Amino acid sequence: MKRTALALALTALFTAEPALAAPAAAPAAASTEAVAAGSWDLRPLYATPAAWDTERQAILADLTQLGALKGTLGTSAEKLQAGLDQAAALRRRIYRLAVYASLAADADTRVTENQARNQLADATANKFGEATAWVTPEVTAIGADKIHAWLAATPGLAKHRYLLETTLRLAQHTLAPGEESLLAAAADPLQQPQSIYSLLTNADLPWPTLTIRGKKVTLDQEKYVAYRADPDPKVREQVFKAFWPVYKAFERTIGAVYAAELRGTVFQARARKYDSSLAMAQGGDNIPEAVYTTLVKEANAGLPTLHRYFKLRSRMLGLTEARYSDIYVPLAKPSRTNYTVAEAEALTLEALKPMGSEYEARLAAGFKGNWMDSNVQRGKRSGAYMNGAAYDVHPYLLMSFNGDYTSVSTLAHEWGHAMHTVYTDHTQPFETSDYSTFIAEIPSTANELLLADYMVAHAQGKAEKIFALSQELENLRGTFFRQAMFAEFELAAHQAAERGEPITGEMLTKLYLGLLKRYHGDAEGVVHIDDLYGIEWAYIPHFYTDFYVYQYATCVSAAAYFAEGIGKGDTALRERYFKLLEAGASAEPYQLVKAAGVDLASPEPYRAVVRRMNRVMDELEALTAQK
């Protein structure tokens, strides 16, 4: 994900584009103290926490100057440009402020000081939103004819072209200045469900202690991810039966938190005169709703292929009855079981050589630059992400590297995000650097697929090739089918909220359980799903970024197209791919991907992913049949 949660507060187009004065201060480190291995260095953002505090106060002071712009934007092209430039400069600084605060908070969610700083960053963004709520209505009032004439005659407005054209397109969803101010003021309370969920699940859940093969284990999220792939089915079942009751015990609470998230989204959609929450989510980037609905439809049509995969797993694992606790165990033992971060980086560099020497050099420089926090530690935010919002610095990455192949693949994935940001920021001005999430998962998933192809091609012997093929299948399951299931759940939950139905933890569990059983073929005897596992919806933090997860599935479809061609040495395709990486927010994301060769509103990209999965299974079945 390129931008921070704070950036979600800057939702209006110009409200989302802001900042005054010069870029943030303190780009240099205050000391030369070495950074601990596996940690990121936040000093390029701000030398010290005190420097961050100073910059925040400066931003707050500059916010007061924005009011002087009110009523001037429509008087001339020069005034419009000056106002937009001033707003963009301030937004640039606020993003940087937010990056530092959110990274520090995520590194250890138990540190109260860091959580407080993150809240201050959120509050600063919200104040900016309130201070610029009048901008979009004022630009809309200028009118399309005058804005297009000014764009043609004023070169300085070029970097604002896409934003201006998008604002005109969304004029029907722009409210009066007073109403926009009210919505901007509501941004902070509307963000709270995500903040509450993050703190509850990362810092406050009472994790159980298990004894596994004589070793005491605190079963938090990171240990769950590690032990759910344990080769012993009894251990896996023990882990599942201990881990999920923790979430089940908080079903009512997390249900209330997610209900607040849903109601907040529905409120915003109705306030802005959208037909639905999905329409609002897709409308900003003008993504056809057919992309979402076609994905869900085609994923359901492809369930026989998913069930074929689960049956193949059962045969290879020698299971008489497959259970949900069996879906993560590797089908074959890897030749390496304890990768170091350095080894994972070297492997990623080799796998991505088809990208060319420039990409390789930029990636290698990032590896050496202390951009990533990869250590496993208690209190650290779960999951993995890339934050590239600090335009003047470099991307930052967070993950907990466990040493297994999944961690290697995750590393390649997140660095795909980072390189996307590097290419975009190198090519685009700040004003058009904030690429859509609709595109964001394509470069990251392409990296994963190229890594998978590399592992298959360089497998040493039958067993290693079986492992590599099985990993590719698992990647496709997790990135396409699992994310499509999440998308179907999320859409159904929002639609229930829109109908005014009561949203409770029990209701959400029932909804999710039905999908879990259908996708895994419970009724057909493919994978048995215990009712307890319906609580899994409460484990997914991405649900607090509305209608985000479906883009993993759409993007793997596009990524498969690019990875296959680039891997085969198609230089023309590679050039189109890099143009996509460099495009940023210079045009509508759906059209950018379509121009690169993939129409994600049509069934074909999704059917191609299903065909790819079947081809890999054909190869794997042939290998396992050999004596």
Average pLDDT over residues 457-466: 89
Same domain for 9 and 137, yes or no, is yes
| 414 included as an active-site residue | yes
Any idea what the Cα angle at residue 164 is, between residues 160 and 166, rounded to 5°? Answer: 120
Q: Which residues pair with 528 in a beta bridge?
A: 323
DSSP string, 548-612: -THHHHHHHHHHHHHHHHHHTT-HHHHHHHHHHHHHTTSS-HHHHHHHTT--TTSSHHHHHHHHH
Q: What is the pLDDT of residue 32?
A: 53
Is residue 434 one of the residues assigned to a domain? yes
Tell me how far CA of residue 497 lies from CA of 188, 256, 278, 551, in angstroms.
21, 12, 12, 22
Average pLDDT rounded to a whole number, residues 430-437:
95
Same domain for 34 and 83, yes or no, is yes
Shared-domain flag, residues 180 and 304: no
Which 3-state string (H, E, C) describes 472-489? Answer: HHHHHHHHHHHHHHHHHH
Q: Specify if 457 maps to a domain.
A: yes
Q: Can you give the pLDDT at residue 116?
A: 96
- Same domain for 187 and 210, yes or no, is no
Q: What is the mean pLDDT of the chain?
A: 92
Burial class (CB in 10 A: 0-12, 13-18, 19+), 522: middle
Question: Residues 153, 77: contact at Cβ < 8 Å?
Answer: yes
- pLDDT at 31 exceeding the cut of 60: no
The pair phi, psi for residue 276, each rounded to 5°, is: -160, 170
Q: Is 426 exposed, middle or buried (0-12, 13-18, 19+ CB in 10 A)?
A: exposed
| Domain boundary residue, one of 217, 249, 281 | 249
At 30 the pLDDT is: 42
Distance in angstroms (rounded) separating the CA atoms of residues 452 and 470: 10
Percentages of the chain per state (helix, strand, coil), in multiples of 5: 65, 5, 30
Q: Which of 92-106, 421-435, 447-461, 527-541 is predicted least confidently?
A: 447-461
Region of residue 35 (left: phi > 0; alpha: psi -120 to 50; beta: else): beta
With 90 as the cut, is the pLDDT of residue 184 above it? no
pLDDT of residue 6: 34
Spot the catalytic one: 298, 414, 431, 498.
Answer: 414
> Is residue 593 situated within a structural domain?
yes
Per-residue pLDDT at 17? 30
Q: What's the rounded mean pLDDT across residues 504-531? A: 98
Q: Looking at the structure, tell me whether residues 176 and 314 fall in a common domain.
A: no
- For residues 49 and 85, state if they share a domain: yes
Nearest 10 degrees: Cα torsion 448, 449, 454, 460: 90
DSSP for 414-477 reads HHHHHHHHHHHHHHS-GGG----HHHHHHHHHHHHHHHHHHHHHT--SHHHHHHHHHHHHHHHI
Q: Is residue 277 a contact partner of residue 546, using CB atoms and an 8 Å limit?
A: yes
- Give pLDDT, residue 464: 87
* Rounded average pLDDT over 302-316: 98
**Cα 607 off chain centre by:** 24
Q: At which residue do the structure tokens 């936040």 appear?
A: 42
CA 386 and chain centroid, separation: 8
The number of domains in the chain is 3
In a domain, 201, yes or no: no
Give residue 414's identity as a one-letter amino acid code. Answer: E
- 146: Cβ contacts below 8 Å, ≥ 6 apart: 74
Q: Please tell me whether residues 542 and 602 are part of one structural domain.
A: yes
Strands 372-373 and 396-398, how do they pair? parallel
Element (H, E) at 372: strand 372-373
Q: What type of residue sits at position 8?
A: L
Give which of 562, 564, 504 is closest to 538, Cα–Cα. Answer: 504
Instruction: Give Cβ neighbours of residue 484 (< 8 Å, ≥ 6 apart).
Output: 295, 296, 299, 550, 553
Query: Model confidence over 106-118: pLDDT tens digits?
Result: 999 999 999 999 9
pLDDT of residue 23 exceeding 70, the answer is no
* 3-state class (DSSP) for residue 19: strand
- Give 219-273 pLDDT, tens digit per residue: 999 899 999 999 999 999 999 999 999 999 999 999 999 999 999 999 999 999 9
Domain range enclosing 444: 289-338+425-627
For residues 190 and 126, is the Cβ–Cβ distance under 8 A?
Answer: no
Mean pLDDT, rounded, for 546-556 = 94
Q: What is the CATH number of the domain that holds 35?
A: 1.20.140.70
437, part of any domain:
yes
* Angle 453-342-566 from CA coordinates, rounded to 5°: 25
Q: Is 584 left (phi over 0), alpha (psi -120 to 50) or beta?
A: left
Whether the pLDDT of residue 588 is over 80: the answer is yes
How are beta strands 215-218 and 372-373 bridged, if at all? unpaired
Rounded to 10 deg, the angle between the 135-142 and 77-107 helix axes is: 150
Question: What is the CATH classification number for the domain harbouring 302?
Answer: 1.10.1370.20
536 & 446 share domain: yes
Q: Are residues 333 and 221 in the same domain?
A: no
Q: List beta partners, residue 323.
A: 528
How many helices (H) and strands (E) are present in the chain, helices listed first?
Answer: 25, 5
Q: Domain check: are 190 and 212 in the same one?
A: no
Neighbours of 515 (CB within 10 A): 17
Q: Is residue 396 part of a domain?
A: no
Residue 85, classified by CB atoms within 10 Å of its CB into exposed (0-12), middle (13-18) or buried (19+), is: middle
pLDDT of residue 538: 98
Q: What would the two tokens of residue 51 be? A: 């420097």
CA distance 408 to 402: 9
Residues 158 and 222 in one domain: no
Instruction: Print burial letters for 427-453: b (CB count within 10 Å at least 16), e (below 16).
Output: bbebbbbbbbbbbbbbbbbbbbbbbbb
pLDDT tier at 344, thresholds 50, 70, 90: very high
The H or E element that residue 498 is part of is: helix 482-498
Is the pLDDT assigned to residue 28 strictly greater than 80? no
Looking at the domain assignment, is residue 304 inside a domain? yes
- In the prediction, which pLDDT does 466 show? 92
Nearest to 130 by CA among 178, 168, 92: 178
Take residue 29 and report the two structure tokens written for it: 């480190």
- Categorize the per-residue pLDDT at 29 as very low, low, confident or very high, splitting at 50, 70 and 90: very low
Q: pLDDT category, 185, cuts 50, 70, 90?
A: confident
Residue 253: count other Cβ atoms within 10 Å of its Cβ: 14
Distance CA 306, CA 587 (A): 35
* pLDDT tens readout for residues 471-509: 899 989 999 999 999 999 999 999 999 999 999 999 999
Weakest mean pLDDT among 20-24, 225-229, 406-410, 439-443: 20-24
Which residue in this structure is represented by tokens 């991907």? Answer: 593
Cα–chain center distance at 232: 32
Domain identity same for 229 and 181: no
Kind plus residue range of the DSSP H or E element containing 16:
none
Strand 209-212, strand 215-218: pairing = antiparallel
Identify whether 275 is part of a domain: no
**Are the CB atoms for 467 and 229 separated by under 8 Å?**
no
H runs (alpha helix) in 272-318:
277-283, 289-301, 303-317
CATH number of the structural domain spanning residue 215: 1.10.287.830
Angstrom distances, CA of residue 276 to CA of 50, 185, 283, 491: 44, 22, 10, 10
